[in-house]
Amino acid sequence: MRSKKSEIGNIKLKTSKIKALAFYFCFYVCFLLIIGTAICRAEGKYTGGPHYFRDIRSSKPPYEPIEVINYEEANNLYTYYEAYFNGQGRIISLKKYEKGILKQVLMSSDKK
């Protein structure tokens, strides 16, 4: 028959192992979430569309829309841009609007 001291020691050892496993599991899950977020941000930020932007960084290709806005904000601006993106995050269509009226198609593709 085991002594009570050895049983208590075994219980403490099992408890510490469980705590260590729980810690490593939580650490691993958090690590995966952080890495997954970083990978997603490294790829194209947007897919599909339409997405609305306040401005573009360059007036010539390659265009880089900046400062994303929602539809309501876009319609309250004098000038805004509407963009569609492919699955890799590349622009396939970019249009310039003034006072809610299409003024210029900067870039267009049939693959929407």
Of the candidates 48, 45, 39, the one whose C-alpha atom is nearest the C-alpha of residue 67 is 45
> In the beta sheet, which residues pair with residue 98?
79, 101
CA–centroid distance for 98 within its chain: 29
Non-local (6+) Cβ contacts of 66 within 8 A are 53, 54, 55, 56, 57
| Model confidence pLDDT, tens digit, residues 17-66 | 777 777 777 666 656 566 555 444 434 588 888 999 999 988 788 888 98
Q: What is the DSSP letter of 77?
A: S
Whether the model clears a pTM of 0.75, i.e. scores above it, the answer is no
Structure confidence by residue, pLDDT tens digits, 64-86:
898 999 999 999 999 999 999 99
